[in-house]
Amino acid sequence: MTSLPVLPLSPAAVGRRPALPPRHLADLDLAGRQALVAELGEPAFRAKQLSTHYFGRLVRDPAQMTDLPAATRDRLAEALMPRLLTPVREMACDDGATRKALWRLHDGSLVESVLMGYPDRVTVCISSQAGCGMACPFCATGQAGLTRNLSTAEIVDQAVYLAGVAASGAVAGSPPRLSHVVFMGMGEPLANYSRVVDAVRRLCAPAPEGLGLSQRHVTVSTVGLVPAMRRLAGEGLSVTLALSLHAPDDELRDELVPVNQRWKVAEVLDAAWDYASRTGRRVSVEYAMIRDVNDQPWRADLLGRLLAGRLAHVNLIPLNPTPGSRWDASPKPVEREFVRRLREAGVSTTVRDTRGREIDGACGQLAASETSSADGR
Ligand code: SAH
């Protein structure tokens, strides 16, 4: 019998106080920005001008904000647009259609984001925390523990920055406009609840208040923090909820997703169906296919019974083995049989593509500690 992983304590619980980044306009709604600009002794309309540069034109260099008086430009940019993300390394693969960015935050924490171009859309996968406290044993980020929550603006800025990269035409064969955002980078979004919800609002507010994405094109992925899932269902947002299930039974899920020790499969699925019925949105059930661990035909059948007739879609993710891991991806024939059984049960199922594998940009590989050697640290 294997012993169950233990959830690590949060930094707050052990007395460390994570340093927050400086305030940025993306932390505030438009009214908040106008109030701040007024406090700085400038006319309120400057807030809109700055916001149009940042969200509308994806411009962050004050020198390019020529509609603002030169003396005001630097002052306002310094007060409302401090640099939050310093690119440490950018890597491309899949013929330039996938690009991973490693950022250093103001306190030295490292986080990553991934830009993925498809013929019909451009998606960014963003981080909501530096590290993660959820300790899923197959996930690289889970191994390192939680450093801190990201601020709203640190979350938003990943998408805005990469929207600028996409707009420059860097993703060949894709539209220039960022259309989709998934919270599937580092961290557990619902453990940083209010900042993540704020970030979603900012990403979806029309420019110049926000980036103007459609809520339906935003996906928030969770290990299954039940109270937060229920709260999210009441926010009046129509974002897609992805639930990282990975096992249909408590015995195995207790091990693969340790938070299951607190909220069991039945409870987490109940909260998912509540989300689906209150938002009308189909829940995306994520399931990493791990060889001889969770890929047995009987588990496919059990999963099929749990999901049949529900507003759900299964997204099977071929496991991306983390360095030193005892686990491997399921063989293709096993994966195909798993898909077949789910579909036979009437459950819509697809297998996720594995973008970014060569640059450690694929699911669960976003562990900045692995890349820090490339950074010379
Ligand atoms: N904490 C959130 C979001 C981040 S991870 C969550 O767990 O949902 C995004 C997805 O990648 C999750 O479904 C996660 O379980 C999956 N994942 C993590 N490590 C993986 C790996 N090594 N191979 C395949 N999928 C992985």
One DSSP character per residue, 252-275 reads: HHHHHSGGGGTS-HHHHHHHHHHH
DSSP 108-161: S-EEEEEEEE-SS-EEEE--SEEE-SS--TT-HHHHH-EEEEPPHHHHHHHHHH
Alpha carbon distance 40, 27 (integer Å): 17
The secondary element (H helix, E strand) that includes residue 182 is strand 180-183
pLDDT-derived band at 11 (thresholds 50, 70, 90) equals very low
Q: What is the pLDDT averaged over residues 109-117?
A: 95
CB of 319 closer than 6 angstroms to any ligand 1 atom? yes
User: 341 vs 1, 104, 212, 293, CA distance in Å?
Assistant: 29, 44, 40, 17
Note the Cα 220 to chain centre separation in Å. Answer: 7
Is 372 a residue whose pLDDT tops 60?
Answer: no
3-state percent helix, strand, coil for the chain, nearest multiple of 5:
40, 20, 40
Residue 257 has pLDDT above 50, yes or no: yes
Q: What are phi and psi of 251, to 5 degrees?
A: -60, -50
* Model confidence band, residue 9 (pLDDT cutoffs 50, 70, 90): very low
For 182, list phi and psi in degrees, rounded to 5: -120, 135
Give the mean pLDDT of 189-209: 98
**Atom 1 of ligand 1 has which residue's CA nearest to it?**
188
pLDDT score at 371: 43
CA distances from 178 to 27, 167, 229 (A): 20, 8, 26
Please work out whether the CB of residue 241 comes within 6 Å of at least one atom of ligand 1: no
Q: 166-170, 242-246, 285-289: which range is least confident on average?
A: 166-170
Residue to mutate, 186, 225, 240, 244, ligand 1, most ligand atoms under 8 Å from C-beta: 244
CA distances, 154 to each of 87, 210, 225 (Å): 13, 14, 22
Whether residue 12 has pLDDT greater than 90: no
Q: Regarding predicted confidence, which is higher, 60 or 5?
A: 60
286 lines ligand 1 (CB under 6 A): yes
Q: Which residues are catalytic?
A: 112, 363
Q: Average per-residue pLDDT in the chain?
A: 91
Q: Has residue 256 got a pLDDT over 60?
A: yes
Could you tell me the pTM of the whole model? Answer: 0.93
Low-confidence winner among 87-96, 273-282, 286-295, 366-375 (lowest mean pLDDT): 366-375
DSSP structural state of residue 2: P
Residue 335 CA, ligand 1 centroid: distance in Å:
18
Stronger pLDDT, 86 or 9, i.e. the higher one? 86
pLDDT at 369: 52
Q: Quick one: CA torsion of 159, 165, 168, 172, rounded to 10 degrees?
A: -110
State the pLDDT at residue 13: 45
pLDDT of amino acid 144: 83
Query: Is residue 138 a contact partner of residue 367, using CB atoms and an 8 Å limit?
Result: no
Asked whether residue 349 carries a pLDDT value surpassing 80, the answer given is: yes
Region 357-374: mean pLDDT is 58
110 DSSP β-pair partners: 104
* Helices assigned H by DSSP within the chain: 30-39, 45-51, 70-80, 140-144, 152-167, 193-204, 226-233, 250-256, 265-279, 297-307, 332-344, 368-371
